[in-house]
Structure 1
Amino acid sequence: MVLDPQVKALLDQLKAIGAPPLEQLPPEQARQLFRMLAGSREEKEAVHQVTNQTIPGPDGEIPIRVYKPEGAGPHPALVFFHGGGWVIGDLDTHDNVCRVLTNLAGCAVISVDYRLAPEHKFPAAVEDSFTALEWAAEHAEDLNIERKKIAVGGDSAGGNLSAVVAMMAREKGMPSLVCQLLFYPATDFTADTESMRENAEGYFLTRESMNFFRNHYLNNEEDANNWYASPSLAENLSGLPEAFIITAEYDPLRDEGEAYAHRLKEANVPVTLKRYDGMIHGFLSMAGQIDQGKTALQEAAHKLRSSFNKQE
C-alpha cells in the first residue's frame, strides 16, 4: 500500500509548520508542542458528563478524568492510559479520543494522568496505572460503573501500560477485566524489527523519537528486559482478557504490536489483530482529519460493546 492521501496531507502540514523534532527538545517543551498539535486537530465532541478529580497514588495524587455516557447506569467502563512515550501526553491531549469512545461504546471512560518521565522514571507510570485500575474497581459503586465490566486500553505507551496492568491484574487475581484495547502498542524495548528500520523516519514517530522516549523512561538497559516495560518478554501470557490490537503500516512499532498479538494467540488468548494500511502511528488521535482514524475508533468501540455484552 502507498501512504494514505489524508495522512500525506497531514504530514505535509506538520512539515510546513517547521516544528523541531521532539527529541531535540527538553521534555517540558516537547510536552507543550504535543499539546499544541493535539489541541489544533478538531473540536471537542460533546458527552453527557465529564468530571476531573484526583485519587491517592503511590507518590502523591493521580489526576483522572471521568467521562459518562447517557443513561442511568451502572455503565461498563474503560480505564484509559494515554500515549506519548511515557514522557509527553496528558488528559487533554487524548480528551477527544476518550469522548468518542464514551459515546460510541456507551461506556464510562476513566482517563489516567500517570506520572511522566524523566521526572518519574520506570516503573512510576506502571505503578500509577495499576493503582488507578484498582481504584476504579474498588469504587465501582461510587462511579456508577459495573465492576464485572471493566476494560483497559490506550495508545502507544498507553497500549504498553494497558498490556502490563492486564498481566498485573491476572497475577493479583483482581480486578477481573473483560478486554484490553491496544492501539499501536510499544511491547518490546529489546526488539530490532523490520518495521523500525523501514519506518525509521518520515512518518511522524521516528526511531530517534523512540530512543528519546526510551532514554528518558528507563533507568538502565536491565529495565528493557523487565516485562513491566516489555510485556512481550513475559514468560506466561495465558489467562489474559481478550485483546483488540490495532497496528499501522507505516509505524515503527507495527511489528512489535503484531508480534505481541501472535504471542497472545499462542497462549490461547482471544485476539483480534487489525493492521490499517497506509496509516501512521497516532492516526486514531488524528481522526478529525483521517477517515481511517474514525473507522478504527468505531471498530474499537464495537469490540468494547461486544466484550461488555459477553458478561451479561
Structure 2
Amino acid sequence: MPFHPGIATRLPLLEGIPSLEAGLSEPQMEAFDAYPDAPPPPSATTRIVSVPGPHGPVPLRIYTPVEPSQEADSAHALVWMHGGAFQFGDLDTKEADWTARQLAQRASATIVSVDYRLAVNGVHYPVPLDDVVAAIRWVQANMTELGLTSLSVGGASAGANLAAAAALRLRDEDMWVPEHLVLVYPMMHAELPAPSESLRLALAELPNVLRLTPRMIHLATENYVGTSSEDSIPGYAMPATADLDGLGPTLVLNAEYDELRASGEAFSALLAARGVDVEQVKIRGMLHGFLNLPPTFAPVDDALERIAARLRPKSS
C-alpha cells in the first residue's frame, strides 16, 4: 500500500533534508510533524502520583474515562510507556498523552503512563527499566484501591522494549505476567534483522530524512546499554535475546514504512516459536511513530481500536 495520503501530501516539505538527524533542527520537519487541524484528544480524568523506585520517585499519570461505559463489568488497566530512543519523551508527548486519552475512552479503561528516567546525563540501563518495573509493581499493589481487576502492559518503540523487558523481569522475579502485552513499532534488537522482501521494497520508497539508519540504532543502543553488541547485551535490555517462554497474549503493531518493522516481525516469530499467543499486524501506509498522529487517519484509528479491544471486558 502507498503512503497514507495525509503523509504523502506532506513529503515535499522534507525535500533537501539529507537525514533524520539533520532534520531535527529544520523548521520543515516541525511543519511535517504538525497537525494544527487535528481534533483535540478525548477528555479524561487525570491525576499525577509519585511512586517509590530504586532510583528515586517515579511519576505516573493515571487516566480514567470521564464517562465509563455502562457495559463494562470489569476494570482493566494498561501501564503504558512512550518511546523516544530511551532519550526523549515525557508524559506530555503525544504518543503518551494522546494515546492514553484515546484508550481510556475507547476501552473504558484505566491507563497509567510512566515518566521513566531517560538515558541522558549519565543514566543508563537498567535505570529506565527499574522505573517501569517499580511502576507496574505499584499498580499491582494498589489494584483494589484503584478499582482494577486486571492489568496489561504496553509501550511504543523504546517504550515497547521497556514493556516487554518489564514483563520478563516480573515473570522471573515475581512469577507474574501481564494479562496482555502491547508492543507498538517495537525496538527489540541491538542490530536490526535483515528486512523481508516486502519491507525492503517499502523502505526503498522512504526518503532518507525518514530513515532509522543502522548508525542511529547503534547509537541509541550503545547510549542505553553501554554496548551495541548483542552478544554482551542482557536479555532484559534487548528482549529479542531473552528467553520468551511463558509470556501472555501479545499484540505487535508494526508500521509498514519503518526499519523497526524488521525487529517487530522477528520478535513476533520468536514469540510464536516459544508458544506465546502473538498477533502481529502491519499498520498500512504508516511511518514509525504513528501514534503521534491524529486518529482521523484511518490506520491510526485501527491501531487504537486493536489495542482497546485487548482492554475491554471479555463479555463486551
Could you state the TM-score of these two structures normalised by the residue count of structure 2? 0.83
Q: Distance in 1 between matches of 2:51 and 2:104?
A: 21
1:9/1:123 Cα in 2 relative to 1: closer, same or farther (>3 Å)? farther
| SS, match of residue 57 in structure 1 | coil
Q: 1:189 touches 1:229 (CA, 8 Å); kept in 2?
A: no
Quick one: structure 1 residues 11 and 58, their matched pair in 2 at CA, closer, same or farther if it must change by over 3 Å?
Answer: farther
Residues 41 and 288, structure 1, Cα contact 8 Å, conserved in 2: no
Letter in 2 for 1:213: A
Give the 3 Å change call, closer, same or farther, for CA 267–8 of structure 1 in structure 2.
same
2:186 is matched with which residue?
185
Alpha-carbon offset, residue 117 of structure 1: 1.1
Aligned to 1:60: 56
How far is the alpha carbon of 1:22 from its aligned partner? 4.3
Preserved contact between residue 184 and residue 253 of structure 1 (Cα < 8 Å): yes
Q: Deviations over 1:250-276 (max 9, x none)?
A: 101001101111111111111111012
Deviations 1:108-154 (A, max 9, x none): 000000000122111111111111111110111222222xx100011
- Aligned pairs for 1:26-175 (under 5 A) are 42-69=38-65, 70-71=67-68, 75-93=75-93, 94-119=96-121, 120-146=123-149, 149-175=150-176
The CA distance in 1 between the partners of 2:299 and 2:260, in whole Å, is 18
Q: 1:96 to 1:171 in 2, by over 3 A?
A: same
User: CA, structure 1 residues 103+289, in 2 after alignment: closer, same or farther (shift >3 Å)?
Assistant: closer
Unpaired segments ≥5 residues, structure 1: none
Task: Provide the rounded CA distance (Å) in 1 between the counterparts of 2:190 and 2:297.
Answer: 29
Work out the number of aligned pairs and report it.
299
**Against the structure 1 CA distance between its residues 59 and 211, is the aligned structure 2 distance closer, same or farther, given a 3 Å change threshold?**
same
Please give the per-residue CA displacement for 1:55-106, whole angstroms capped at 9, x wherever unaligned: 1121121111000123498721000010111000111002011100111111
Aligned Cα root-mean-square deviation (Å): 3.1
Q: Secondary structure, in 3 states, of the residue corresponding to 1:153?
A: strand
- In 2: Cα distance, 1:212 partner to 1:42 partner: 33
Aligned match of 1:4? 4
Q: Secondary structure at the match of 2:9?
A: helix
Matched position secondary structure for 1:63: strand
Say if 2:284 and 2:299, in contact at 8 Å, map to a contact too.
Answer: no
Q: Mean Cα displacement is larger for which, 293-302 or 77-86?
A: 293-302
AA partner of residue 118 (structure 2): L
Do the aligned partners of 1:177 and 1:241 also contact (CA within 8 Å) in 2? Answer: yes
Specify the code of the residue in structure 1 equivalent to 2:272.
Answer: K
User: Which residue matches 1:294?
Assistant: 301
C-alpha spacing 1:298/1:179, structure 2 compared with 1 (3 Å) = same
CA gap of 1:203–1:152, structure 2 versus 1, over 3 A, is farther
Map of 2:212 onto structure 1: 206
Would you say the 8 A contact 2:222–2:228 is kept in 1? no
**Partners in 2 of 1:99 and 1:53 — Cα distance?**
17
- Amino acid aligned to 1:51: R
Q: Distance in 2 between matches of 1:160 and 1:154?
A: 7
Matched position secondary structure for 2:8:
helix
CA change 1:138–1:220 in 2 (3 A) is same
Asked if the contact 1:186–1:256 (Cα under 8 Å) also holds between the matched residues in 2, the reply is yes
TM-score by length of 1: 0.84
Alignment partner, residue 292 of structure 2: 285
Return closer, same or farther for 1:47/1:174 CA change in 2, 3 Å cut-off.
Answer: farther
Deviation at 1:233, TM superposition (A): 0.8
The answer to whether the 8 A contact 1:155-1:185 is kept is yes
* Structure 1 moving runs of 4+ over 6 Å: 16-20, 195-198
Match of 1:309 in 2: 314
Unaligned runs of 5+ in 2: none
Change over 3 Å in CA distance of 1:122–1:299 after alignment to 2: same
Residue 234 of structure 2 corresponds to residue 226 of structure 1: yes
Matches of 2:207 and 2:44, distance apart in 1: 40
SS of residue paired to 2:210: coil
Q: Contact 1:245/1:273 (CA < 8 Å) preserved in 2? A: yes
